[in-house]
Amino acid sequence: MKKVSNILLIINFKKQVEASFIQRLSDIIISKGSRVSIFPYDEERFNDMRITPRPSIIKNDDELRKADMAIVLGGDGSIIRASSKVSAIDIPILGINFGTLGYMAELEAREVDRIGNILDGQYNIEKRMMLSVEIIREGAIAYGAHNVLNDVVLSNGPVAKLLNFEATVNGALMQKYRADGIVAATPTGSTAYSLSAGGPIMDPCLDAVCVTPICSHSLSDRPVILPSNAVIGIENIDTEDDSVYATIDGRHVERLEPDDRIRIFRSDFCAKLVRTKTNSFISVLNSKL
């Protein structure tokens, strides 16, 4: 791959990321002749940590597009949030794990010295399928997202209660459900909520979608794996108690209104994860899970 000249640094400051680590990472990047940029909301934290030299501040989309790579310090959730920002402009993501599982991250914090080789172009890109989701209300799109890396979840509110709803595939009825909800997951998201709900683990490089009911009250309801070109509809949703929600990648929650419909389909975007190791999916699965 090409040499990396411009780094977008994204840090989850809720994790215990020490200033000394950020300074070490910055020093490596600068020593390779590369430039560090950050989003404006991180500027104050960098100033408090006295990181030198001061990074450039991303002021607009044109400046963001100059980034060759985003380095994310955090856990899987941090990488998912970063993907929502940079996938549409084709910026690959290198994750350094400061979370609990770190299933999607390529490096652990102790491996920071490997950054130099990556900046020299010694890396590969792994593409991950993403989803688009639309909430249709009175014939119009009330909410839309086109860079969903993990999953879309239909669930009830804070009080556990069964939901009645239907799932369609390409307009044809797939199943009528009586359950706590349903998860539509990418292969990347198959190891998250979908797995906890009894769904299968999918190789993250597959092009497919897994639909998994949550605590269904029917023994015949099972997870279904669909091709990536399937258009999934969730409709006729029981919203009488005004507490039914669609949760997108665990980061955006949209309350549903009566007669709302959810439409899920493959996104035109994909997440690009930086890879440098030869670990197979199975070996990573074994070590992480």
Catalytic residue among 42, 61, 68, 76: 76
Mean pLDDT of 5-11: 95
Residue 93, both tokens: 């993501």
Q: Give per-residue pLDDT as tens, 142-156.
A: 999 999 999 999 998
Mean pLDDT of 119-147: 96
Give the pLDDT confidence score for residue 186 in this predicted structure.
Answer: 98
C-beta of residue 233 within 8 angstroms of C-beta of residue 163: no
Q: Give per-residue pLDDT as tens, 226-285.
A: 999 999 999 999 877 778 999 999 989 999 999 999 999 999 999 999 999 877 777 777
C-beta of residue 142 within 8 angstroms of C-beta of residue 136: yes
R_g (Cα) of the chain, nearest Å: 20
Domain borders along the chain are 6-122, 130-269
Give the pLDDT confidence score for residue 157 in this predicted structure.
Answer: 76
Mean pLDDT, the chain, rounded, equals 92
Rounded distance between C-alpha atoms, residue 171 and residue 64, angstroms: 39
Cis, bond preceding 92 (omega within 30 deg of 0): no
Give the pLDDT confidence score for residue 240 in this predicted structure.
Answer: 75
**What kind of architecture, by CATH, is found in domain 130-269?**
Sandwich (2.60)
Predicted confidence (pLDDT) at residue 82 exceeds the cutoff of 80:
yes
Predicted confidence (pLDDT) at residue 28 exceeds the cutoff of 90:
yes
Matching CATH topology for 6-122 and 130-269?
no
Cross-strand bridge partners of residue 141: 136
Mean pLDDT of 86-111: 90
Any catalytic annotation for residue 76? yes
Give the pLDDT confidence score for residue 255 in this predicted structure.
Answer: 94
- Measure the CA angle with vertex 275, ends 273 and 280; round to 5°: 110
Give the pLDDT confidence score for residue 288 in this predicted structure.
Answer: 63
Give the pLDDT confidence score for residue 57 in this predicted structure.
Answer: 95
Give the pLDDT confidence score for residue 212 in this predicted structure.
Answer: 98
Give the pLDDT confidence score for residue 3 in this predicted structure.
Answer: 83
Rounded distance between C-alpha atoms, residue 15 and residue 49, angstroms: 15
CA 102 from centroid of its chain's CA atoms = 13
The 10 Å Cβ neighbour count of residue 136 is 17
Give the pLDDT confidence score for residue 289 in this predicted structure.
Answer: 64
Predicted confidence (pLDDT) at residue 189 exceeds the cutoff of 70:
yes
CATH class of 6-122: alpha beta
The answer to which of 26-30, 83-87, 284-288 has the lowest mean pLDDT is 284-288
Predicted confidence (pLDDT) at residue 107 exceeds the cutoff of 80:
yes
- Rounded to 10 degrees, what is the CA torsion of 34, 76, 245, 228? 80
